[in-house]
A and B are shown apart, each in its own frame.
Chain A
Amino acid sequence: MNPYELTVGQAADLLAAKKLSSRELVQSCLDRIEQVEPQVKAFLNIQPDQALVQADAADVRLAEGGAGSLCGVPVSIKDLICTQGTATTCGSRMLENFVPPYDATVISSLKAEGAVLIGKVAMDEFAMGSTTENCAFQTPDNPWKSGYVCGGSSGGSAASVAALECPASLGSDTGGSIRQPASLCGVVGLKPTYGRVSRYGLVAFASSLDQIGPLTRDVHDCALMMNVISGYDRLDSTSVQRDVPDYTAALREGLAGMTIGLPREYFGSGLDPEVEQATMRGVDVLKAAGAKVVDVSLPHTDYCLAVYYLIAPAEASSNLARYDGVSYGLRDLEADSLLDMYKKTRSKGFADEVKRRILIGTYALSSGYYDAYYKKASQVRTLILEDFKQVFTQCDLLISPVVPTPAWKIGEKTDDPLALYLSDVLTTPANLAGIPGISVPGGLTASGLPVGIQLQGPHFAEDRLLYAAYNLEKGLALNTVWPKL
């Protein structure tokens, strides 16, 4: 087995046993990246020399013994997360040359563990999109089927893991941006509870919805990553002071006593039959593991997308006002007045989707429309939260599809923004309610495209989520054969 094929858990064991060095592991991944990147196009920025320096430092720590599971393991980072001294572009021309003078808290945590930051990966511009086609620089190609989208906005994260370029990645999820690409690329992707993982250093899209989370090849790796990135951060006022359990301790077999809900509203007419079948196979697996499955209802599910596409753009319109060309980022130097500078800079720096969302958001907050749009959406959000509160008195977790369809062709849905928005219908509820959700690989369609299965749980029930996901993974026994490339 090539080192690049190892999961985080497998690599950690070998590294601890000194049967493998970090340098060997990282070099193997770098070679793999060089080999497949022309096709996959996941990475915006790789610095091999720096990666090997980190690997060597990790090897020193590993030699001393007592290092954590992530020590010496390469991780790719969505380019929305600030890395000190390294360009952080957010997939946008606006920040093409922006070099943050500080690390995001999650980056500090990874570094403290001795993880190797192997590169920054592609994403939809400012996290706005569902295919990474909105990346200003390149669109990653689905490793399972060339010419197909990887999903978004963490498309590069999902692709880099599925293409075996690195065993793990950090992405972000505002309306499904971890879970959806995980589903389309056949990897595990978890969006934590809002406030579980620090947002400090995550370039803001929609502040009340954003969360950083891991993408990995299996559930155990996901738990390892969650152990490292979770926890209270005093630099983030929305960070929750709550103990971080050992998420790997949750991974035991057998689900006796667990009740899983099947929310009927998630099985609407637009669902691809193969997607539905995958979820139902998942239901069978969980039953076989001893769980009880019940029908439940989340009555306001159909309104989630509308709420999301008002609140997210509204917050984004405010969060992106800082890109004005004054103290960092792009500036149109030809402009002759301040107003001209603002307009030219922002029009040049942002592409269409970002502009569209800024416009909707500005409109929804504007005088005369605030009550009808933003306030209304915030009120319906309360109803959505109530739905979940109610449903979790009837069951411990929910099972459902992640995306209504498997991956589609690049360019197929770029003409109609609204049509693309509809692919977020099953993932936006978790962001609005702040609850955690995970996408677990559920197998391939007849045409060889991955389909994910979603589990959602109450606030701070990541351990429960991973526990059920672990059983789902075991029960499905996919024995994944990763794309050859």
Chain B
Amino acid sequence: MKITREELEHVAHLARLNLNEEELTRMTGQLDNILAYVAKLDELDTTGIAPTTHAFSLVNAFREDQVSPSLSQTEALVNGPKQNGEYFVVPRII
């Protein structure tokens, strides 16, 4: 067992996803298969090997500290599912 139902529930919460009973059962099985497959990486000894984040080595990509135009208030808000012309509106936190 690479991943239990409870672990998947926890991960789903971290990812802000709802999973119903059927999905929980099915996905626990599917993820378990996938994790069992990727476990083949354990066959390799990687002691002392540096991880790769970028396939091509680049450093120091900078920009100058110069102002460029922002979106207008309307443009910024227009795609908002719920907005009041000034702010994005969301349900209260608690």
Contact = CB atoms under 8 A, between A and B. Distances in A.
Residue with the greatest number of chain A CB neighbours at <10 A, chosen from B34, B49, B58: B34
Q: Say which size band chain A's interface belongs to.
A: 35 or more
B74 to A, nearest CB: 10
Given A336-B91, A377-B41, A383 B49 contact: yes
B9 to A, nearest CB: 10
B1 interface: no
B85 interface: no
B34 A418 contact: yes
A306 B40 contact: yes
B67 interface: no
Contacts of B11: 359, 362-363, 366
Given A346-B16, A382-B52, A417-B30, A310 B61 contact: no
B46 interface: yes
Interface string B21-49: 00100010011011101111111101001
A335 B91 contact: yes
A contact patch SS: helix
A363 B31 contact: yes
Contacts of A307: 41
Given A194-B56, A303-B40, A359-B17, A418 B50 contact: no
B82 interface: yes
A428 B56 CA distance: 16
Contacts of B27: 355-356, 359
A331 interface: yes
Given A333-B82, A360-B34, A459-B56, A366 B90 contact: no
Contact of A327 (B30, B34, B35, B80): B80
A353 to B, nearest CB: 10
B58 A379 contact: no
A344 B19 CA distance: 10
A383 B44 contact: yes
Contact of A208 (B42, B55, B78, B80): B55
A337 to B, nearest CB: 5
A195 interface: yes
A421 B80 CA distance: 35
A337 B82 CA distance: 14
A333 B89 CA distance: 11
Nearest to B50: A382
Contacts of A346: 15-18
17 contacts: A101-B79, A306-B37, A307-B41, A321-B16, A327-B88, A328-B80, A330-B81, A356-B27, A356-B30, A356-B31, A359-B8, A359-B17, A360-B31, A379-B49, A379-B51, A380-B46, A432-B55
Interface of A: 98-99, 101, 193-195, 208, 234, 237-240, 300, 302-303, 305-307, 309-310, 317, 321, 324-331, 333, 335-344, 346-347, 350, 352, 355-356, 358-360, 362-363, 366, 373, 375-383, 385, 417-418, 421, 432-435, 459
Q: Which 8 A-B pairs have the closest CB atoms?
A: A434-B55, A378-B51, A331-B81, A328-B79, A237-B61, A379-B46, A342-B16, A306-B38
